[in-house]
Amino acid sequence: MNITFSNVTFKYIEKKILDNASFSITDSDKIGLVGINGMGKSTLLKLILGIEKPISGEIIISGGMRINYLEQDPIFDESKSLLEIIMAGSTKEFPINDYEANSILSKLGFYDSSIKPVNFSGGEKKRLALAKVLVTPCDMLILDEPTNHLDNEIIMWLEKYLIKFKKGLLMVTHDRYFLTRVCNKMMEVDFGKIYLYEANYEKCLDLKNKRLEDEESYKKHLKKVLKAETDWMNRGVEARRTKSKSRIERFKELSKISFNEHKDMEFTSVNTYLGKKIISIKDGKKEFPNKLLFENFNFDLGRNDIVGIVGDNGCGKTTLFKIIMGQDTLDSGELILGETLKIGYFSQTLDVIDPDIRVIDYIKNDTNLIETLDGTIDANTLLDRFLFTSDMKYSKVKMLSGGEKRRLQLIKVLASNPNILLFDEPTNDLDLYTLEILEDYLLNFKGPVLVVSHDRYFIDKICDKLLIYEYGNIIETLKSLSEYLDSKVVETKSVEVKVNTKNKNKMPASLRNELTKLEEEIPALEEHAKELKASLNESSTDFHKLMELNEELEKLSSEIDTKTNRYFELLEIKESYDNN
């Protein structure tokens, strides 16, 4: 099955997102969609889904093609249980069995499918939406930033799941390890054009560089020709009378060509004084009702440290930042802060930006003049350096894409010339180009950096030490995140069961009932399989009967395998409760 774009053009106000784009993807492709924020990645997905319509051209989708879509910010009916939400994708032709729904929910950290998504966090909603799109039968899976808000163990489980996935996949993600390991093709949106590379992310970089080099050579040649033709056209009146009409027409056509220049994003900040004391925590302890975040925590931040803070969602990483910034306090222990600290804080949420403020005013509200290593620049020039066009600067923030808002948020932090940086999930929604610029900036920053992130590539590249949340403790290590994860016994089951104190030794009734039911169902299915095999032997001369029995046996064998895998998962979960 195919999705084909034929000469598709799409504009958003005056900005051309696609310019006569033509390409085709199939249900056997696994494609990573990349491009600078605002170039049209999300718009391309919306065009495929029919949410947006092209100005011209045609989008052809094979008849009967089923497409599942994971959106960035899913919303659910809070009156329905998790199981009801998952089962909404079940149809008579393509049914979802209860055991399949429960299995995928447990793999994504939901062990009681009867609960409702009331007050779910962004991460919990993302995991629930992921469970729904993965278990619902489809021919093409479209994922928009699937790893945002996910714990490392779930990211690695999802990575393995998608590697084995037998249907089509199109996804937007900033996770470079994920792109390299899962995708067999890359698609780039660049100035309205689509470039398809027959390679994973790592190999795609070489192919893209070659394309840009070829384009640059062609542009130089074209500009040279255009200059010669312009000089020819500018000769005197007498000479112009003898000019050939065909050459004049050629000049007019050449003059229409516009050159899309890839500008470099750049920013440098001046050094501000940082005293001997920076951040020190002695015997720190913090807990919430029925949940210990950490205790006996001792930490001294060095002047040149780049520290990665990792752990499961909800373990207290953001709380640690709030304690450092004075928005929360330790329950016991001591926090010592240097008197000269000037903290730059990059929040993981976008609700700190007024959607109705103009982009340039958002930066100007603090100061219109920013000190850089190149001298003092104004807000307008600073926005230029971060690739905000003139019309974008004077539009309202709500008109920007999610990635452009994150880039604007980043400018605000860096423009204040901090001497210490606290970054909470900075990679969410940033395009890969901006990420590389940010990485270089942080590696050259003259001061310490604390960064919370689930992005393994990002943490591996910039951090020289880690603070890892583990079972109420914070462990300091010099290992990279990849080394740390490899050193653990990473199982393919879901994140370990999180149970509250009063129920920690009691497996939920829904899981106990499911286990009991499987203990009855599996032997019955195996007995039925034996009967089918016997019928196959008896029908060796009836071809049509053989075909029917074979098909039934294949479906039955698949069901036995799935239920057996689920049975062993439930046994492991039961054992984890029994051992607590």
Report d(CA 430, CA 426) in Å as an integer: 8
Which residues of the chain register pLDDT less than 70? 14, 218-219, 221-226, 228-271, 351-352, 489-505, 540, 578-580
In what order do the strands lie in the sheet containing 2-12?
15-26, 2-12, 56-61
Domains 2-204 and 279-487 share a fold: yes
Token pair for 553 = 């046996």
Q: Would you state the pLDDT for residue 444?
A: 85
SS3 at position 103: helix
Token pair for 78 = 């809070």
Q: Any long-range contacts for 112-117 (C-beta under 8 Å, 24+ apart)? A: 112/82, 112/508, 112/510, 112/511, 113/81, 113/82, 113/83, 113/86, 113/510, 114/81, 114/82, 114/83, 114/510, 115/81, 115/82, 116/78, 116/79, 116/80, 116/81, 116/82, 117/76, 117/78, 117/82, 117/85
By residue count, the chain amounts to 580
CATH number for the 2-204 domain, one of 3.40.50.620, 3.40.50.300, 3.30.1360.10, 3.40.50.150? 3.40.50.300
What tens digit of pLDDT does each residue of 193-228 get?
Answer: 999 999 888 888 888 888 877 777 756 756 666 676
Q: Which of 274, 325, 307 shows the shortest CA–CA distance to 447? A: 274
**What's the CATH number for 279-487?**
3.40.50.300
Question: Mind giving me the DSSP string for 557-569?
Answer: HHHHHHHHHHHHH
Is-above-0.95 flag for pTM?
no
Sign of CA dihedral 483, 485, 490, 493: negative
Token pair for 356 = 């109705």
Report d(CA 452, CA 307) in Å as an integer: 9
Tell me phi and psi for residue 318, to 5 degrees: -65, -35
Residue ranges covered by each domain of the chain: 2-204, 279-487, 510-572
Q: What share of the chain is helix, strand, coil (3-state, %, to 5)?
A: 40, 20, 35
Report d(CA 503, CA 485) in Å as an integer: 29
Helical segments of 454-542, H only: 456-462, 481-487, 509-538
What tens digit of pLDDT does each residue of 285-319 get?
Answer: 999 888 899 999 999 999 999 999 999 888 899 99
H or E stretch at 5: strand 2-12
CB 420, CB 272: distance < 8 Å: no
Q: Which of 365, 358, 354 shows the shortest CA–CA distance to 412? A: 365
Q: Would you state the pLDDT for residue 516?
A: 86
Q: How many Å is the Cα radius of gyration of the chain?
A: 29
In what order do the strands lie in the sheet containing 291-300?
291-300, 279-288, 332-337
Report d(CA 487, CA 480) in Å as an integer: 11
CA 490 to chain centre: 22
Sort strands 306-310 and 465-470 into parallel, antiparallel or unpaired.
parallel
